[in-house]
């Protein structure tokens, strides 16, 4: 085999290798582009899921707050008339606990970074602060609402 033929074959093999490498590079780029699109879709889906979670929590908190307010009004009206409030006060305690538990779940989600801290702080800082001030007996050292207390402390200076 002559040197010219050898050089020609080497050139052809190198050229084919370069073409194959370019094809592989193009395929890799195409797959990365598709993967980027899938990641974008996943991020949007995660945002929608977080929003659904937040809306569900807010709806539950709102329902529990309404129930608590309704029961509180019932107790106050019954006291005005001089009636027996013992059953109404049991219902009030239960609705208060349900309302506090729903806020505690929200604070758990904030604490675990499942919800955006800044958004939740804007919407709930005042409500949580007034709740703790209005019901200090429920937020002492042995409180079962530890998530509310932790979030309250982290938001106090913000």
67-106 tens-digit pLDDT = 999 999 999 999 999 989 999 999 999 999 999 999 999 9
Structure tokens at 61: 């908190």
Give the tokens for residue 37.
């699109």
Looking at the structure of the chain, the number of domains it has is 1
* 96-142 tens-digit pLDDT: 999 999 999 999 999 999 888 898 899 999 999 999 999 999 998 89
Task: Count Cβ atoms within 10 A of the Cβ of residue 7 and give its class: 0-12 exposed, 13-18 middle, 19 or more buried.
Answer: exposed
Contact 132, 152 (CB under 8 A): yes
Q: Model-level pTM greater than 0.85? A: no
How is residue 45 annotated by DSSP?
H
Domain that holds residue 13: 3-155
Q: 65: which residues sit within 8 A by CB, 6+ positions away?
A: 99
For residues 53 and 58, give the distance between their C-alpha atoms in angstroms, rounded to a whole number: 9
Cα angle, residue 27 at apex, residues 22 and 30 outer, rounded to 5°? 125
């Amino acid at each position: 085999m002559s040197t010219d033929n050898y050089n020609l074959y080497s050139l052809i093999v190198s050229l084919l290798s370069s073409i194959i490498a370019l094809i592989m590079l193009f395929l890799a780029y195409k797959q990365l582009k598709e993967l980027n699109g899938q990641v974008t879709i996943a991020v949007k889906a995660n945002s929608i899921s977080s929003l659904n979670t937040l809306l569900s929590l807010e709806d539950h908190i709102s329902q529990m707050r309404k129930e608590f307010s309704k029961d509180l009004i019932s107790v106050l009206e019954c006291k005005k008339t001089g009636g027996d409030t013992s059953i109404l006060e049991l219902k009030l305690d239960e609705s208060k606990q349900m309302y506090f538990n729903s806020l505690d779940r929200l604070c758990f989600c904030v604490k675990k970074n499942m919800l955006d801290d800044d958004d939740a702080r804007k919407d709930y800082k005042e409500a949580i602060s007034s709740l703790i001030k209005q019901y200090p007996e429920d937020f002492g050292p042995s409180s079962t609402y530890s998530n509310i207390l932790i979030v309250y402390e982290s938001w106090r200076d913000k």
